[in-house]
């Protein structure tokens, strides 16, 4: 355990020490420390343990009336005492993840400029062009391993929030620590403040970003090139995590940098990996090989393409050719089945276009293509009606039905509908969190395809093994590791993801498998330890003084 107060890099004393959230212990400073650091009289008489302090925090939280108020309180706590913040959050991630991350963080981002208390992370704006390395050096930490960078161009389902999107970069990195024990000092949230398309935000007197409209793609690419080069210079071991950029920017940036530097995009790769994790668990449940699945996506946007592409890689890893794997996947969008005779089709969508007559009715497409898996990523709440679920159930003993659209009212069907209409046969997961369903005396636990099963573990593996790149295979290994951590008993009740109650253990399990893969394939630059899991465990952040 590192003693943060005695850290050789710190010579803080007195009031300044109490103001440093990383070193502050508040009432937990011992009498000896109080004397040594000039703290006598600056804190009350009682010397408390961390657990006693956490008890007080829980009391405060109990009096807050909404999750947004709890979010604001916890953010204030983090500003005062980082160790206490993580002690509380890591003691019950299942409770605190929805407060610090999705869905509450969306509400917090909407009001970011109004809720703002004190600066966190770095804000890079267009007027800093030519000086980005210099600006990065203003950050006090010298060994940053993760930058989560957003333009705020597409925050959750809320659209372009501009600089308000900083809340998501902060929240995402907190999950690295809270769920997977990545040390918080290794993380740096960055707002790439390029402006916003939203006139209402630009006109809000409390808006904190630049009041510009976003630049052209060319200008944005030049800015990003400079930023990426500056990161390589200032933080050579750093992984860049792209988060909630506008869809086309997100795809372009990933394509531009994924083979050049250590980076990934959670909306594209993390999402695909968590969906694949759910599918692999479902296939473990029914003991069916991935190579034999016919998959129909309802919705043909970025989420569908991201999942489809990773599925193809996963099928290839099990021996199918790319062409054969692609043939097992079909897309259905607002105009019906995506067929090759369509004139306006993106290159990505064309890969999965069928040589068929156009069909506009989903049930007819199900009868025609006989999918074993139906995945909703359409934003069309209620689109999987009784006919659709019954059609899937008539074709399959255990139909796999994922309704991934968010938030809850956009879900293509509810958990209750999926289980009721399939007479308990469906293997169901959703993007939203649904309550357990009791049907004919049996309790079903619907899975939530939440990215936090994947990205913190990818982060931990990256922190430990220091790979040169994050490849598609890393995300497939993470999905498999997640699936393998759902026990047979849990699968019997419909669970498709590991338990959220032991999330740190699950993330360490997944990170161990991913790190092992990085060592086996030569991606890792760290020295391979004799045993990976205990080594990873030894690197975990512990919320202790």
Whether residue 491 contacts residue 429, with contact meaning beta carbons closer than 8 Å, is answered with: no
Task: Name every residue whose Cβ is closer than 8 Å to that of residue 421 and which is 6 or more positions away in sequence.
Answer: 386, 389, 390, 393, 413
For position 310 contacting ligand NAI by CB under 6 A, the verdict is no
Q: How near is the Cβ of 156 to ligand NAI at its closest, in Å?
A: 7
Q: Does 271 bind ligand NAI (CB under 6 A)?
A: yes
Contact region with ligand NAI (CB under 6 A), list: 13-21, 88-96, 403-411, 531-539: 403-411
Q: Which of 422, 451, 471, 500 binds ligand NAI (CB under 6 A)?
A: 451
- Measured distance between the N- and C-terminal CA atoms of the chain, rounded to whole angstroms: 8
239-242 and 187-193 as β-strands: parallel, antiparallel, unpaired?
Answer: unpaired
Residues numbered 20-79 forming contacts with ligand NAI, rule: CB under 6 A:
none
Q: What is the DSSP string of 318-373?
A: TT--HHHHHHTEEEEETTEE-BTT-SS--HHHHHT-BSS-----HHHHHHHH--SE
Q: How far is the CB of 267 from ligand NAI (least distance, A)?
A: 6
CB-based contacts of 72, cutoff 8 Å, min separation 6: 108, 115
Q: Is 182 in the site for ligand NAI (CB under 6 A)?
A: no
Q: Is 281 in the site for ligand NAI (CB under 6 A)?
A: no
Q: Which of 37, 71, 86, 101 is catalytic?
A: 101
Residue 444 is among the residues annotated as catalytic for this protein: no
What is the C-alpha separation between 176 and 173, in angstroms, rounded? 5
Among 404, 413, 437, 543, binds ligand NAI (CB under 6 A): 404
Q: What is the DSSP string of 140-206?
A: S-S---EEEEE--TT-TTS---GGGGHHHHHHHHHHHHHHH---GGGEEEEEEE---S-HHHHH-TT
Measured CA to CA, the distance from residue 58 to residue 67 in angstroms comes to: 13
Residue 27 per-residue DSSP state: G
**Per-residue contact string for residues 136-175; x = within reach of ligand NAI by CB under 6 A:** ---------------------x------------------
300 contributes a contact to ligand NAI by CB under 6 A:
yes
Spell out the residues 6+ positions from residue 2 whose beta carbon is closer than 8 angstroms to its own: none
What's the CA gap between 380 and 332, in Å, rounded? 12
- Is residue 101 part of the annotated active site? The answer reads yes
* In the complex, least distance from residue 68 CB atom to ligand NAI, rounded to whole angstroms: 20
Q: Minimum CB separation from ligand NAI for residue 449, in Å?
A: 4
The residue annotated as part of the active site, out of 25, 172, 410, 480, is 172
Segment lying near ligand NAI (by CB under 6 A), choices 47-55, 173-181, 257-265, 329-337: 329-337
Q: Which residues contact residue 503 at a Cβ distance below 8 angstroms, ignoring those fewer than 6 apart?
A: 93, 94, 97, 179, 452
| Lookup: tokens for 109 | 């981002």
Judged by CB under 6 A, the stretch of 68-76, 123-131, 327-335, 505-513 that binds ligand NAI is 327-335
Q: Is 449 in the site for ligand NAI (CB under 6 A)?
A: yes
Quick note: the x/- pattern for ligand NAI over 333-362, rule CB under 6 A, is xx----------------------------
E-assigned strands of 86-144?
A: 122-125
Taking alpha carbons only, the member of 131, 181, 127, 124 closest to residue 147 is 124
CB of 176 vs ligand NAI, minimal distance in Å: 17
Please pick, from the candidates 78, 124, 303, 389, the single residue that binds ligand NAI as defined by CB under 6 A: 303
Q: Tell me the C-alpha distance between 148 and 151, whole Å.
A: 10
d(CA 93, CA 116): 24
Question: Based on CB atoms, which residue is closest to ligand NAI, 150 or 379?
Answer: 379
Minimum CB separation of residue 288 from ligand NAI in Å reads: 23
Span interacting with ligand NAI, options 130-138, 201-209, 371-379, 492-500, rule CB under 6 A: 371-379
CB of 165 to ligand NAI, least distance (A): 16
Residues in Cβ contact with 187 at an 8 Å cutoff, skipping those fewer than 6 apart = 144, 145, 146, 147, 148, 173, 176, 177
Of 64-72, 213-221, 373-381, 500-508, the segment contacting ligand NAI by CB under 6 A is 373-381
Helix (H) or strand (E) holding 210: none
Closest to ligand NAI by CB, 231 or 377: 377
- How far is 343 from 352, CA to CA, in rounded Å? 14
Task: For residue 42, give the nearest of 21, 22, 23, 19 by alpha carbon.
Answer: 19
Q: What is the contact mask toward ligand NAI in residues 470 to 509, using x (rule: CB under 6 A)?
A: ----------------------------------------
**Residue 302 in contact with ligand NAI, rule: CB under 6 A:** yes
3-state helix, strand, coil in the chain (%, to 5): 50, 10, 40
Pick 157 or 424: Cβ nearer ligand NAI: 157
Among 405, 462, 471, 482, binds ligand NAI (CB under 6 A): 405
Of 333 and 484, nearer to ligand NAI (C-beta) is 333
Least distance in angstroms from the C-beta of 332 to ligand NAI:
6
Smallest distance, ligand NAI to C-beta of residue 251, A: 10
Q: Can you give the binding site for ligand NAI, defined by CB under 6 A? A: 157, 247, 271, 274, 298-304, 332-334, 377-380, 404-406, 410, 431, 449, 451
- Catalytic (active-site) positions: 101, 172
């Amino acid at each position: 355990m590192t003693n943060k107060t005695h850290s050789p890099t710190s010579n803080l004393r007195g009031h300044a020490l109490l103001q440093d959230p990383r070193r502050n212990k508040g009432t937990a400073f011992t009498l000896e420390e109080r004397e040594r650091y000039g703290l006598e009289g600056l804190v009350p008489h009682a010397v408390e343990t961390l657990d006693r302090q956490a008890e007080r925090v829980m009391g405060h939280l109990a009096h807050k009336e909404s999750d947004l108020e709890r979010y604001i309180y916890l953010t204030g706590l983090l500003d005062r005492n980082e160790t206490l913040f993580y002690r509380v959050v890591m003691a019950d991630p299942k409770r605190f993840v929805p407060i610090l991350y999705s869905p509450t963080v969306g509400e917090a981002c909407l009001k970011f400029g109004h809720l703002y208390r004190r600066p966190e992370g770095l804000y890079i704006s267009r007027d800093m062009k030519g000086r980005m390395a210099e600006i990065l050096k203003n950050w006090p930490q010298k060994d940053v391993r993760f930058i989560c960078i957003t333009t705020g161009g597409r925050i959750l389902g809320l659209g372009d929030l501009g600089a308000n999107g900083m809340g998501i970069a902060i929240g995402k990195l907190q999950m690295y620590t809270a769920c997977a024990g990545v040390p918080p000092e290794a993380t740096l949230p960055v707002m790439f403040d390029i402006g916003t398309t939203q006139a209402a935000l630009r006109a809000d007197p409390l808006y904190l970003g630049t009041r510009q409209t976003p630049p052209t793609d060319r200008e944005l690419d030049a800015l990003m090139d400079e930023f990426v080069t500056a990161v390589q210079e200032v933080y050579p071991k750093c992984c860049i995590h792209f988060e909630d950029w506008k869809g086309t920017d997100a795809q372009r940036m990933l394509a531009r940098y994924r083979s050049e530097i250590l980076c990934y995009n959670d909306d594209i790769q993390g999402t695909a990996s968590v969906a694949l994790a759910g599918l692999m668990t479902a296939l473990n449940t029914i003991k069916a090989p991935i190579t034999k699945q016919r998959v129909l996506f309802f919705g043909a946007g970025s989420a569908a393409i991201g999942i489809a592409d990773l599925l193809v890689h996963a099928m290839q890893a099990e021996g199918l050719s790319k062409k054969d794997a692609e043939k097992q996947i079909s897309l259905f969008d607002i105009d019906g089945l995506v067929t090759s005779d369509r004139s306006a089709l993106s290159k990505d969508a064309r890969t999965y276009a069928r040589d068929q007559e156009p069909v506009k009715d989903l049930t007819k497409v199900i009868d025609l293509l006989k999918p074993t898996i139906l995945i909703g990523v359409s934003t069309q709440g209620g689109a999987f009606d009784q006919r659709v679920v019954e059609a899937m159930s008539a074709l399959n003993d255990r139909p796999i039905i994922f309704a991934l659209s968010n938030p809850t009212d956009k879900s293509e069907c509810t958990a209750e509908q999926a289980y009721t209409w399939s007479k308990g046969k469906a293997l169901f997961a959703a993007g939203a969190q649904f309550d357990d369903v009791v049907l004919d005396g049996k309790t079903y636990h619907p899975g939530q395809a939440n990215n936090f099963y994947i990205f913190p573990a990818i982060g931990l593996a990256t922190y430990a093994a220091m790979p040169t790149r994050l490849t598609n295979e890393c995300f497939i290994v993470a999905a498999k590791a997640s699936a393998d951590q759902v026990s047979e008993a849990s699968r019997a009740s419909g669970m498709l993801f590991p338990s959220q109650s032991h999330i740190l253990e699950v993330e360490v399990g997944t990170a161990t498998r991913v790190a092992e893969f990085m060592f086996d394939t030569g991606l890792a630059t760290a020295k391979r330890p004799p045993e990976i899991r205990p080594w990873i465990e030894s690197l975990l952040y512990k919320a202790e003084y």
